[in-house]
Amino acid sequence: MEDIDDINILKIQYPHCPNCKVHRGIYFSYLNLQSQVLNSLDLLRKNYPNALISVTGHSLGAAISVLCAIDLVVNKKIQINSLYNFGCPRVGDENFASWLDSLQLNYFRVTHGHDPIPQLPL
């Protein structure tokens, strides 16, 4: 399944940002995990109500974590402390990237200069 999601680079309209497009495979990968993530987070927040929330991922997981962080902040009104990504491919188009910047998340994107994944899709 991940291999199919990785190569599914068709862009679709992102429902939470006008004129923003995201990569279909990444978006649907997050939607497939969304209920599990939100249910787990609800349980953790009940047990640790004062804990800071950080979202992180690597490669495809990093791209999914971007959509997760946005979902938490924009749709669920949950404050996150930080978003750390390693080797994250591009999640969406320029409009999406600008909109993501406007959210002013405490976002750190770590890449290696010779890693081709952060340059994808072209």
Q: What is the pLDDT of residues 42-89, one digit of tens each?
A: 999 999 999 999 999 999 999 999 999 999 999 999 999 999 999 888
| Whole-angstrom Cα Rg for the chain | 14
Mean of per-residue pLDDT scores for the chain: 87
The predicted pLDDT at position 33 comes to: 96
Phi, psi angle pair for 87, to nearest 5°: 65, 40
pTM assigned to the model: 0.85
With a cut of 60, say whether residue 121 has pLDDT above it: no
What angle is formed at CA 16 by the lines to CA 93 and CA 76, rounded to 5 degrees? 130
CB 33 within 8 A of CB 64: yes
Cα dihedral sign, 67-70-72-75:
negative
CATH entry 3.40.50.150 includes domain 2-113: no
Q: 96, 97, 49, 89: which is closest to 65 by C-alpha?
A: 89
